[in-house]
Structure 1
Amino acid sequence: MKRRCSRTACPAEAVATLTFDYADSMAVLGPLSATPEPHGYDLCATHAERTSAPVGWQVVRYVTPGRVDSTA
């Protein structure tokens, strides 16, 4: 079963999972997790590309090997 983007009113299919590491002030964006994560957010390609972090935080983006990343 395909998962949908967690953003309100977005009907697109999720392709990435966003999680937060509060201790290190870090947002981690990676490939869609194999199973839904209770504290993660599944995002479509558009919302994953637009993801930013609060001031003082960093975003770590993991890319699947072999995939071309247009945001690099």
Structure 2
Amino acid sequence: MTKVYGVPRGIRSETAERSTLAQMDGRLCSKVTCAREAVATLTYDYGDQMAALGPLGGTNHPNAHDLCAQHAERVSVPTGWIVVRHEAMRA
């Protein structure tokens, strides 16, 4: 029986499928049910109660959350926190 990512063929898990898609099309949105390509990265500074949202980071960092355009637009943070949105410079 052929195995794909350690899972028998025909019994592919969602995680294995997301991994395959990520390798083909770039990084995916971190939201569990979203399969869209990530375009922004969200990081948190708990000490300053701040979230920073900017262009997709160069590497996939474990403490950063990659988001698609739809989820990046709808980011919400706890009451009292601020969101700093960094936009790519345009020529």
Q: TM-score, normalised by structure 2?
A: 0.71
Q: Is 1:55 equivalent to 2:79 in the alignment?
A: yes
Which residue pairs with 1:6 in the alignment? 30
Q: Is 1:22 equivalent to 2:46 in the alignment?
A: yes
Q: Distance in 2 between matches of 1:53 and 1:60?
A: 11
Q: Distance in 2 between matches of 1:38 and 1:48?
A: 18
Shift of 1:66: 1.1
Corresponding letter in the other structure for 2:82? Q
Runs of 5+ unmatched residues, structure 1: 68-72
Percent identical among aligned pairs is 55
Structure with higher Rg: it is 2
Q: Distance in 2 between matches of 1:39 and 1:60?
A: 17
Runs of 5+ unmatched residues, structure 2: 1-22
Corresponding letter in the other structure for 1:44? C
Return the structure number with greater helix share. 2
Q: Distance in 2 between matches of 1:62 and 1:52?
A: 16
Moved beyond 2 Å, runs of 4+:
none
Secondary structure, counterpart of 1:52 in structure 2: coil
Q: Is 1:45 equivalent to 2:69 in the alignment?
A: yes
